[in-house]
Amino acid sequence: MLNNVAVVLLDGVHPFELGVVCEVFGLDRSEQGLPVYDFAVVSAEGPELSTHAGFSVRLEHGLERLEEADLIAIPAGEDYGSREFPEPLLDALRRATARGTRVLSVCSGVFVLGAAGLLDGRRCAGHWRHADELAIRFPRARVERDMLYVDEHPVITSAGSAAGIDSCLHIIRQEHGSEVANALARRMVVPPHRDGGQAQYVERPVPTTRCDTVGEVLVWMERHLDRAVTVEELADRAHMSPRTFARRFQQETGTTPYRWLLRQRVLLAQQLLEGTDETVDSVAGRTGFGNGATLRHHFLRVLGTTPNAYRRTFRGPRPLETAP
């Protein structure tokens, strides 16, 4: 049961990401029937810390407060991708996860978890601007570039600022159910975002590179997602051998032709499910999956949900019919 929440601050903390955690877990909304937590803001570097916005904060609690927490949150901060972190904090995080305490990072706070070794062998999310740096600095982490947040119990990582709200509501939903999470979302005037265990994703545009030798092929692939293609065919379009093409494609996009094509097909399927009344089989045909069963297989594998469940959750409001 989640009762005790602590948020850890380092010098240069970003106020918005700190505010997200305080808004969800730090306010008393008991008059509305919402849960109340024993909440504390903890310093990892002395009683007074600066913020990214230019003001300072004074804190009463030190790292000893983490020993009794059920959830430890780490908001984003300035230069977290390149700085070193206090070893006592990293030790406290390791002890916390060892005893089952959940830890949550918001945006660049994920680098603190990585420095503690908590991303090793785990999937993790981070802001798209930090994804490459995160993968290089922590090669044993499995960086999920498209996900708004990842729950690899007891480690929960989220992407940019607003994704921190998503991850916090996910924790509320796990602890107290959808009704409480939705009520809190309404109170905060934000959408609940997730329903049940459904993962959320952001679209990834066609990559741009400084040495874009496969750019024309990427454009062609995106325009012909319904076609079955081979690496040999794509290499021929790029006037390369299949081996050279595969190597250059990996260098310029960070993935393989198959994975890139699969992700773009899934993205198109998401758009069609959100914006049209086409059947799952029709969507499968237009996106190159061939049939509904194949689409469901890849949709579940990539997004963690089925096409029908995704449509129910993310379909926009239907236009009102005009009376005759």
CATH 3.40.50.880 boundaries in the chain = 4-188
Would you give per-residue pLDDT tens digits along the chain (324 residues)?
A: 899 999 999 999 999 999 999 999 999 999 999 999 999 999 999 999 999 999 999 999 999 999 999 999 999 999 998 899 999 999 999 999 999 999 999 999 999 999 999 999 999 998 888 888 999 999 999 998 878 889 999 999 998 888 899 899 989 988 988 788 888 988 888 765 443 332 333 344 444 444 467 878 888 988 899 998 999 999 999 999 999 999 888 887 778 899 889 988 988 898 888 888 999 999 999 999 999 999 999 988 888 888 998 888 766 544 443 333
* Residue range(s) of every CATH 1.10.10.60 domain in the chain: 215-314
Using left for φ > 0, alpha for ψ between -120 and 50, and beta otherwise, residue 265 falls in: alpha
Phi–psi pair at 322, nearest 5 degrees: -85, 130
Domain 4-188 has CATH 3.40.50.150: no
Phi and psi at 107, nearest 5°, equal 55, -125
Per-residue model confidence (pLDDT) at position 192: 59
State residue 96 phi and psi, 5-degree precision: -65, -50
Reference 169, options 278, 178, 291; nearest CA is 178
Distance CA 15, CA 54 (A): 10
The DSSP-derived string for 140-161 is TSEE-TTBSEEEETTEEEE-SH
What pLDDT, on the 0 to 100 scale, is given for residue 206? Answer: 41
- The type of residue at 131 is A
DSSP of 253-295, one letter per residue?
HSS-HHHHHHHHHHHHHHHHHHH----HHHHHHHTT--SHHHH
Q: How far apart are CA 47 and CA 63, in angstroms?
A: 11
Q: State the amino acid at position 121 in one-letter form.
A: G
The residues pairing with 7 across neighbouring beta strands, listed in sequence order, are: 41, 73
Q: What is the pLDDT of residue 252?
A: 79
CATH of 215-314, one of 3.40.50.2300, 3.40.50.980, 2.40.10.480, 1.10.10.60: 1.10.10.60
Q: Could you write out the DSSP letters of every residue in 211-237?
A: S-SSHHHHHHHHHTTTS---HHHHHHH
